[in-house]
């Protein structure tokens, strides 16, 4: 199986030893507490699950700025997005040991214990500089920019020990998986080559066929459908609805034992190209050999060109920085001429009228009225689940 990023073995920061974990939970009750924001909490969950291998905790200011500028830490580790604990709280001192509390679970239980190596102030200009490099814009209407620039100016860095996986394990027991668990499951399947499909949306026919195309073209043993389970922007479909619709699609339309339906506990950044590279790091740490990178991968609005998330792998990812390879996908749609889903680049003799193309708004309106989109666009079983959700919003 492919090696994790940056090390020979995966080093998750979750404390698996039960005795040690119970001792840390008890110790945490007597430690000074910091209530995390959702972004820092999601980073802790990803560190705990091994997705951020080989990081040992939150980055300091020099590493965060270096990663934003050059996709490398000061020690030379390739990394695409700063992993930080920015806060508005003051009073934490370097050298202290603190309990990090979860903002997303009632009662704010302890999520991790942190040894604070440094407490550094980051100026508004430095925050904006990082944001501009990560998101390629400073437009406050960009959801990622709005979140990042509002986290705070105090940066706490140092190693952490993770004690639980927040609400993800309890709310999505059948779907949430750590990188450790996914690696183990891939081994159990006996798979060698695995392609990953990243999604924050339900999967329509085009997505379904894209997964098949990638499996066929690459000759993989299976596919990891890996959905984001954390915070999204307003209007995005909730994780439980996506989960149900994707599981139904796989159950009905894919051969048994060819697909793993899983999810991970992270808040969406909407960082386009940079987030596509971060997705590649996640999937290498999961044991996948390939990642599908499609049109406007991890994008939002019109902030990124359609294929910027592919060209970044040519222009900014150094050769050998990642062992995982990307599968470049064009926009896929159902061809009326060919009576199947194709990549639009593979049908140069087609006009727009030859494809079944529906805007997201049109699909939402149809589903809200209880109308099923054409079967060439969405499987009826998937449309039913989505329609029930949209109609429930109006009831």
200-212 tens-digit pLDDT? 888 888 899 999 9
The pLDDT value given to residue 340: 86
Of residues 310 and 363, more confidence is placed in 310
Q: Is the pLDDT of residue 232 over 90?
A: no
What is the DSSP code string of 63-106?
HHHHHHHHSB-TT--B-SS---EEES-----TT-EEEEEPTTST
The pLDDT value given to residue 331: 82
Please enumerate in sequence order all residues whose Cβ is within 8 A of that of 104, keeping only pairs 6 or more positions apart, or say none: 38, 41, 166, 167
Q: What is the pLDDT of residues 238-284, one digit of tens each?
A: 889 999 999 999 999 999 999 999 999 999 999 999 999 999 999 99
The pLDDT value given to residue 328: 95
How far apart are the C-alpha atoms of 332 and 352, rounded to whole Å? 12
Q: Is the pLDDT of residue 171 over 80?
A: yes
pLDDT level of residue 395 (50, 70, 90 thresholds): low
Q: Is the pLDDT of residue 68 over 90?
A: yes
Q: Is the pLDDT of residue 234 over 90?
A: no
The pLDDT value given to residue 140: 95
> Which residues are identified as catalytic?
200-201
Angstrom distances, CA of residue 313 to CA of 197, 316, 326? 17, 6, 8
In the chain, what are the domains? 18-169 (3.10.400.10), 174-394 (3.40.50.620)
The pLDDT value given to residue 333: 83
Of residues 89 and 125, more confidence is placed in 125
CB 223 within 8 A of CB 258: yes
Of residues 339 and 2, more confidence is placed in 2
How far apart are the C-alpha atoms of 218 and 156, rounded to whole Å? 43
Q: Is the pLDDT of residue 360 over 80?
A: no
Q: Is the pLDDT of residue 359 over 80?
A: no
Kindly state the average pLDDT of the residues 98-112: 98
Q: Is the pLDDT of residue 235 over 80?
A: no
The pLDDT value given to residue 181: 98
- What does the mean pLDDT of the chain come to? 94
Q: Is the pLDDT of residue 324 over 90?
A: yes
Which of 122-131, 144-153, 382-391 has the lowest average pLDDT?
Answer: 382-391
Of residues 376 and 68, more confidence is placed in 68
């Amino acid at each position: 199986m492919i090696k994790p990023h940056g090390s020979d073995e995966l080093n998750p920061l979750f404390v698996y030893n039960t005795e040690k974990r119970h001792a840390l939970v008890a110790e945490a009750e007597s430690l000074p507490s910091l209530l995390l924001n959702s972004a820092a909490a999601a980073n802790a969950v990803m560190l705990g699950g091994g997705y951020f291998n080989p990081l040992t905790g939150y980055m300091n200011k020099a590493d965060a700025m270096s990663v934003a500028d050059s996709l490398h830490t000061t020690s030379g580790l390739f990394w695409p997005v700063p992993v930080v604990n920015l806060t508005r709280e003051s009073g934490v001192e370097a050298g202290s040991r603190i309990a990090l509390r979860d903002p997303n679970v009632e009662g704010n239980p302890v999520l991790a214990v942190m040894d604070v190596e440094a407490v550094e102030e980051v100026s508004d200009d430095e925050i904006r500089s990082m944001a501009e490099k990560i998101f390629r814009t400073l437009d406050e209407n960009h959801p990622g920019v709005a979140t990042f620039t509002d986290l705070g100016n105090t940066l706490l860095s140092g190693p952490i020990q993770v004690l639980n996986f927040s609400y993800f394990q309890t709310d999505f027991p059948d779907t949430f998986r750590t990188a450790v668990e996914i690696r183990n499951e891939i081994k159990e399947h006996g798979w060698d080559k695995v392609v990953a499909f990243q999604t924050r949306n339900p999967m329509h026919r085009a997505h379904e066929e894209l997964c098949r195309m990638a499996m066929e073209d690459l000759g993989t043993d299976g596919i990891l459908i890996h959905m984001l389970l954390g915070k999204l922007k307003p209007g995005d479909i909730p994780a439980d609805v996506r989960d149900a619709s994707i599981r139904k699609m796989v159950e009905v339309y894919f051969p048994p034992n060819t697909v793993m339906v899983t999810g991970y506990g992270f808040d969406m950044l909407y960082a386009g190209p940079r987030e596509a590279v971060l997705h590649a790091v996640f999937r290498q740490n999961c044991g996948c050999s390939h990642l599908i990178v499609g049109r406007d991968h991890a994008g939002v609005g019109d902030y990124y060109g359609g294929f910027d998330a592919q060209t970044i792998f040519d222009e900014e990812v150094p050769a050998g920085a990642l062992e995982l390879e990307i599968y470049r996908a064009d926009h896929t749609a159902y061809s009326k001429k060919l009576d199947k889903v194709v990549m639009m680049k593979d049908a140069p003799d087609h006009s727009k009228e030859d494809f079944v193309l529906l805007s997201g708004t049109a699909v939402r309106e149809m589903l809200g009225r209880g109308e099923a989109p054409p079967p060439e666009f969405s499987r009826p079983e998937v449309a039913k689940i989505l329609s029930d959700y949209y109609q429930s919003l109006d009831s």
